[in-house]
Amino acid sequence: MERLVRVLSRVPLHAVIIVIALIWIFPTLGVLVTSFRPAPDVATTGWWTALRVPFEFTQFTLRNYESVINQGGIGRAFLNSLIITIPATILPIVIAALAAYAFAWMRFPGRGFLFIMLVGLLVIPLQTTMIPILRVFNRLGLAGTFPGIWLAHTGYGLPLTIYLLYNFIGALPSELFDSATIDGASTLQIFFRLVLPLSITAIASVTIFQFLWVWNDLLVALIYLGGTPDVAPITVQVSSLVGSYGQDWEVLTAAVFVSMLLPLSIFFGLQRYFVRGILAGSIKG
């Protein structure tokens, strides 16, 4: 009897949690289901009607994906996203690892001031930089090119990546560095032999962040690449499909799902690093 009361008293708790979980999962589920339904069905019935007979596989089709990848330009855009994202992730991470080490363990004039600037830059809206940088890019012929957007993403990514890595590298025990110096290791040797292997998990989580940030970015791509389909990343392409296929949900949902493929696999595969990165950035203070 007592046990029953205890179980019953917890029913509201479970109910609240399950309702929240459903609210969070339903929108994405709807998109997933719709992307596999034929166009006439999508236009005339709600996607939830397909759930009444979920294992009736004849009601599903792959045609939406086929058409979105070919005619919708999503295939090309996926490739562009990769071309943009990979260098725009590696470049800032390499620079940030070196810079974080320098800020944490090297003494040089202006170090304090520079770091305060960096902390300030963390919150500067990138909108304030768009017009001046675009002017420079236009003069240098970088606007609308991949190298241009690699540079832009590197610049925008550096403050946070340096800050996150600094938090980690700065927390390494100082005895480590003392004994390495006594043994005659050079600064670069210390970096490659000591700092890098020790902070590999931190670097992994920051890399995931930067990758997702660049992959999911819309504004930077719109500004510095413009809307031309031969360089547009997948976010730009999806948002332009919203304009042209507004009500054709089978097209839009398939496009969105292709764009989510990589981020979602990274999320479910590397969730631990992802969470660790978030905590490193904000739990302090």
Partner 1 sequence: MGVSNYIFAFTNRVMLTAFRNNALWVLVFTTLTVFLGLILAVILDRVRYETVVKSIVFMPMAISFVGAAVIWKFVYAYRPPGAPQVGILNGFLSVFHASPVGWLIERPWINNLCLIWVGVWIWTGFCMVILSAAYKGIPGQLLEAARVDGAGEWQIFRRVILPLMMPTMAVLTTTMTIFVLKIFDIVYVMTNGNFSTEVIANRMYKEMFHFRNFGRASAIAVILLVLIVPMMLINIRRFKREELLR
Query: Binding residues for partner 1, per CB under 8 A?
Result: 13-14, 16-17, 20-21, 24-28, 30-31, 34, 42-48, 116, 119-120, 122-128, 130-131, 170, 212, 215-219, 222-223, 235, 238-239, 242, 249, 252-253, 255-256, 259-260, 263-264, 266-268, 271, 274-275, 278-279, 282-285
Smallest gap from Cβ 85 to partner 1, in A, equals: 12
The nearer residue to partner 1, 94 or 219, going by C-beta atoms, is 219
Q: Which is nearer to partner 1, 16 or 106 (CB)?
A: 16
Residue type, 56: E
**Judged by CB, which is closer to partner 1: 138, or 189?**
138
* DSSP notation for the chain: -HHHHHHHHTHHHHHHHHHHHHHHHHHHHHHHHHHTS-HHHHHHS-GGGGGGSTT-GGG--SHHHHHHHHTTSHHHHHHHHHHHHHHHHHHHHHHHHHHHHHHHH---TTHHHHHHHHHHHTTS-THHHHHHHHHHHHHHT-TTSHHHHHHHHHHHHHHHHHHHHHHHHTTS-HHHHHHHHHTT--HHHIIIIIIHHHTHHHHHHHHHHHHHHHHH--HHHHHHHTT-TTT--HHHHHHHHHHHSTT-HHHHHHHHHHHHHHHHHHHHHSHHHHHHHHHHHHS--
Shortest gap between Cβ of 66 and partner 1 (angstroms)? Answer: 19
CB of 211 to partner 1, least distance (A): 11
CA 261, CA 53: separation in Å to the nearest integer? 26
Task: Name the token pair of 163.
Answer: 């800050």
Q: How far is the CB of 4 from partner 1 (least distance, A)?
A: 18
- State in angstroms the smallest separation of the CB of 16 from partner 1: 7
Whole-number minimum distance, CB 47 to partner 1, in Å? 7
Q: Say how many C-beta atoms besides its own lie within 10 A of residue 35's C-beta.
A: 25
For residues 48 and 192, which CB has a smaller minimum distance to partner 1 in the complex?
48
Rank residues 128 and 228 by Cβ distance to partner 1 and give the closer one: 128
CB nearer to partner 1: give 94 or 279: 279
Closer Cβ to partner 1, 182 or 283, answer by number: 283
Give the shortest CB-175-to-partner 1 separation in angstroms: 16
